[in-house]
Amino acid sequence: MKEIEILSGAFEKIKAYITDNQNNSKPVVQFRSPAQLKEVINFTVGEKGVSENEFLELLDKYLEYSVKTGNKQFLNQLYSGFNFPAFIGEVFTVLANTSMYTYEVAPVATTIETEMISLMNSYAGYSDGDGIFVSGGSNANLVAMFSARNRILPESRFEGYDRNQKLVAFVNEQAHYSFETAANVLGIGAKNVIKVKSDKKGKLIPAELELEITNAIKRGEKPFFVAATCATTLLGAYDPIDEMAEICKKYNIWLHADGSFGGSIILSEKHRHLMKGIEQTDSFAWNPHKLMNIPLICSALLVKKRGTLQHNITDINTDYIFHDIDTIEDLGKKSIQCGRKVDAVKLWFAWKYFGLEGYQKRIDNLIDMATYAEKIINEQSKLELLSERQSFAVCFRYVPDKESDLNKFNLELRESLRKSGKSIVNYGYIGKTLAIRLITANGELQKSDIDLFFSNVLSEAKKLDN
């Protein structure tokens, strides 16, 4: 069969790609502009299909010019790394090609998702909790806000949201933009997401939160939702959940923990203190596709009270899919999606492979690598630490010998480094200062990888500084 021969060739390419991921001498990306990329890959779909050799060549080119996020010099995003058991789990998930709405069509996957939600709830301290795998952290934040709205206005599920209620939500001024998107989708309006001041480390200031809440009440508005960010995207800062929980309890407001980036730190006995008070929250967004290195997408929303998610969904009168034959829970009844990809299985394979202790060590290693990177910056005269390290993010810049626009120089440095393919790292602004942001998200990172990164930075900077 033609397909079997292609499969054999594809497996050889997969083996070679996995090997290359471990080789830091290989470029993270062979950078091409869109126009240049179209010169080496024919993106047009023709009237007739391609041959076996052409198909295999397309596979080669796809991998050749894609960013190699498993390479240890990919330090650009909040996710990175290649997770072998999770990759295998993904392959077998696609092979089975089922959906997560009923036990009938996904008995093993349903049982696995239920087990994973139970395990994750145990870390969150939700003794009677529930949860569902969703299509990303943004979606988890949306469903959390959706749940909070339905708690404070139960009839809104059927009657719609009455704008006279004037619902308002509160987030760290450095929180993810998805909360404004969620308010837009729910009809609450992005302008009704109030951004609360943070301190110089990026943490929300509790006194400012309470001030904003009381001011909203005086204006005749109804506070209904507060989000604590567990690792901000630039500084990796953790909001003080325990103090925020006291305020939310006082005013009867839903408290959500957005751990989309840094939620996995909850696995670490040494560092989980950064999420002190998590058990007092009403919901928790956790993305294993970030610091647990599970292939995208792998995200879960946990809720403290069982039944919350199913309560969100309006009357289900669909006997063509939900039959209620056994006492088995169909997960589709608590999801805003019907067809839903199987994402829990790859997490289960990885967690089974590494074990609870293994994952704890991987998370601890990420903090160790960030700490080591911070140490190098402090010891290198040409590098300047721009903010005290909070967790997995390290923000710095290069200071050239010649007087120059430091923002412009460091942006050029970052672009030159990225296009060289040696290392890829991102950047952002702390106030008006451009910061190069190093993220330690790859569980396989070693000190030698961090050393190589800074060697590449200094080498590229020297070229620009002459």
Tens digit of each residue's pLDDT (9 = 90 or more) over 117-148: 999 999 999 999 999 999 999 999 999 999 99
Residue 361 lies in a domain: no
Burial 268-297 (b: 16+ CB within 10 A, else e): beebbebbebbbbbbbbbbbbbbbbbbbeb
Same domain, 47 and 112: no
Same domain, 42 and 173: no
Mean per-residue pLDDT for 429-436?
96
Note down the domain range covering 13. Answer: 2-68
pLDDT for the residue 124: 97
C-alpha 320/C-alpha 323 separation (Å) is 7
Q: What is each CA distance from 265 to 21, 236, 261, 395, in whole angstroms?
A: 25, 11, 9, 19
Mean per-residue pLDDT for 213-241?
97
pLDDT for the residue 21: 83
pLDDT for the residue 173: 97
Residue 218 lies in a domain: yes
Q: What is the total count of domains within the chain?
A: 2
- What DSSP state is assigned to residue 44? P
Residue 177 lies in a domain: yes
The number of angstroms, rounded, from the C-alpha of 76 to the middle of its chain's C-alpha atoms is 13
Residue 359 lies in a domain: no
CATH number of the domain bearing residue 202: 3.40.640.10
**Percentage of the residues of the chain whose pLDDT score is greater than 90:** 80
CA-wise closest residue to 228 among 188, 267, 170, 269 = 170
Same domain, 33 and 136: no
Q: Is the model's pLDDT at 452 over the cut of 70?
A: yes
Burial 170-183 (b: 16+ CB within 10 A, else e): bbbebbbebbbbbb
End-to-end CA distance of the chain: 59
From 319, 350, 381, the end of a domain falls on 350
From 313, 335, 350, the end of a domain falls on 350
199: Cβ–Cβ under 8 A, 6 or more apart, which residues?
205
pLDDT for the residue 219: 96
Tally the C-alpha atoms within 13 A of residue 356's C-alpha that lie toward its C-beta: 8
Mean per-residue pLDDT for 257-278?
97
Cα-Cα-Cα-Cα torsion 249, 177, 180, 339, nearest 10 degrees, comes to -90
Mean per-residue pLDDT for 258-284?
97
The tens digit of pLDDT for each residue in 68-126 reads 999 999 999 999 999 999 999 999 999 999 988 888 888 999 999 999 999 999 999 99
Query: How would you class 159 by CB atoms within 10 Å of its CB: exposed for 0-12, middle for 13-18, buried for 19 or more?
Result: exposed
Residue 231 lies in a domain: yes
- Token pair 């980036």 in the structure block, residue: 261
- Token pair 């070693």 in the structure block, residue: 446
Q: Is the model's pLDDT at 314 over the cut of 70?
A: no
CA-wise closest residue to 239 among 197, 268, 211, 179 = 197
C-alpha 393/C-alpha 265 separation (Å) is 13
Q: Compute the 3-state secondary structure of the chain and give helix, strand, coil in percent, each to the nearest 5.
A: 45, 15, 40
- Mapping DSSP to helix (H, G, I), strand (E, B) and coil, where does residue 400 land? coil
**pTM for this prediction:** 0.93
pLDDT for the residue 102: 83
C-alpha 22/C-alpha 19 separation (Å) is 6
Same domain, 61 and 162: no
Same domain, 161 and 254: yes
**Percentage of the residues of the chain whose pLDDT score is greater than 70:** 97
Mean per-residue pLDDT for 386-413?
94
Same domain, 165 and 301: yes
The tens digit of pLDDT for each residue in 156-190 reads 888 888 888 899 999 999 999 999 999 999 999 99
C-alpha 314/C-alpha 158 separation (Å) is 7
Residue 179 lies in a domain: yes
From 350, 380, 413, the end of a domain falls on 350
Same domain, 114 and 153: yes
Mean per-residue pLDDT for 436-442?
97
Q: What tokens were used for 397?
A: 């810049």
Same domain, 39 and 138: no
pLDDT for the residue 438: 97
Same domain, 37 and 98: no
C-alpha 337/C-alpha 453 separation (Å) is 41
Residue 337 lies in a domain: yes
Sign for the pseudo-dihedral over CA of 40, 52, 85, 96: positive
Same domain, 131 and 222: yes
Q: Which amino acid is at 280?
A: Q
Same domain, 50 and 97: no
- What DSSP state is assigned to residue 198? B
Q: Is the model's pLDDT at 324 over the cut of 70?
A: no
Same domain, 155 and 8: no
Residue 382 lies in a domain: no
